[in-house]
Amino acid sequence: MPTSAGLYYFAAKMAPPKYAALASWITGWANITGQVTLVCSIDFTCAQMITTAIAVNTEGVVVMSAVGTTVAAIIALLVCSGDHKASTKDAFTLFENNSGWTNNGWAFLLAFTAPMWTLTGYDSAAHVSEESAGASRAAPLAILIGVAGTAGLGWILLIAASFATTSVSDLLTTTLPLPMGQLFLNTLGKKGMLTLWSFIIVVQYVTGAAQGVDASRVIFAFARDNALPGSRWWKQINSRTQTPIHAVWFVMVGAAICGLLGFSNAALSSLAGAAVIGLYVSYALPILLRITSGRDKLVPGPFSLGKWYLPIGAVAVAWVMFIIVLLLFPSFQTVTPQDMNYAVVIIMAVFLFAAVSWMVSARKWFIGPVRTTEEAGSPSCNSKVM
């Protein structure tokens, strides 16, 4: 059933009745952690993009769609690099270990963590499904199209960037906040870089705003089920806009607090890592329950994986377990406070709070997602209107 609760609702439905509330509690807090830190990391990156443009000397911003911007970037990197392209062999096979880890195999595995930040947010369609028409089919299709589009365009963009990169060390030692900005500057020149970069900034800004909407719906749904401290406040709907404004502020303030980690590469990677870990845990738990205790609980809807749910689910859970371990490791073998991976600190702080609150209090009153009229024929849990 389409619901803003999304993943923690599915976890409750797939879990054995005795553990439904606990599964929902864990999934909900993991998802909230990922959602809020993802907003922070997206906006953090947007800020770095802006400072990169300022460092080069910005000359304006023009609005363009995300797909168009990506295609423009691909064409620009391939065409404008001219004779200064990397060879085909180097673009596809050159391996440089700049991670700080002496073992090349381990460095190769850690490279898998870099793109994980962009491969998140699969659940966004679910969280806005209550506000969508035909959501039972449109939401899963949106997920598939989004993943396919991101993976396809992203892969082509990385190939173009690989051909345009003649020296990895030069990019890593740039004085600009983002090495990709230096690559665009080297390839397109100042004016070309600023023109295309301004499009990317706008796309990143809009992405952050959209993620804020998604995260606020998770907060709203969790508060509607009385799972948050001060739920009565966070679940209120503004009578004029018909949106959960308090939940939006919850996300914005939470993201700002996460941003206090500091403006550094370590901070950005830590925020991105925390976002991925939180979201991936919230993805994996409902899937694990689906392929174990929930095999006979799901009623197929307009969109279904059929018999393929089991192997796909098993692979998904195995991948999440593998990548989460990697995401907890620092980028460098000799760790200092400046390059520490603080993702583990963020994740453990939230999970510790969730665990303690569950054992002390929540297990006595939290019953999981509140049933709606559409699902059970019982009165719906309407939110208070401001």
How far is 125 from 140, CA to CA, in rounded Å? 7
pLDDT in the model for residue 132: 62
DSSP assignment letter at 181 = H
Which of 328, 324, 355, 321 is CA-nearest to residue 342? 328
| Residues of the chain under the 70 pLDDT cut | 1-5, 57-84, 125-133, 135, 261-265, 371-386
Give the residue carrying structure tokens 């609980």.
297
pLDDT in the model for residue 352: 92
Report if residue 57 sits inside a domain.
Answer: yes
How far is 23 from 228, CA to CA, in rounded Å? 16
Q: What is the domain count for the chain? A: 1
Report if residue 211 sits inside a domain.
Answer: yes
Q: Which residues of 186-202 are buried (b: 16+ CB within 10 A; e: fewer)?
A: bbbeeeebbbbbbbbbb
Range of the domain at 50: 7-376
pLDDT in the model for residue 324: 92
Contacts of 358 (CB under 8 A, 6+ apart): 22, 25, 366
- φ, ψ of residue 372 to 5 degrees: the values are -110, 170
Q: What is the pTM of this model?
A: 0.79
Report if residue 282 sits inside a domain.
Answer: yes
Q: What is the CATH number of the domain that holds 314?
A: 1.20.1740.10
CA dist 317 → 27, 274, 280, 351 (Å)? 14, 18, 9, 20
**For residue 237, what are the β-bridge partners?**
385
Q: Which amino acid is at 51?
A: T
Give the residue carrying structure tokens 């365009």.
153
Report if residue 49 sits inside a domain.
Answer: yes
Report if residue 174 sits inside a domain.
Answer: yes
Joined tokens for residue 259:
């941003």
Contacts of 345 (CB under 8 A, 6+ apart): 270
Report if residue 290 sits inside a domain.
Answer: yes
Q: Which residues of 148-178 are buried (b: 16+ CB within 10 A; e: fewer)?
A: eebeebeeeeeebbbbbbbeeeebeebebbb
pLDDT in the model for residue 378: 37
Report if residue 2 sits inside a domain.
Answer: no
Burial of 334 from C-beta contacts in 10 A (0-12 / 13-18 / 19+): exposed
Report if residue 383 sits inside a domain.
Answer: no
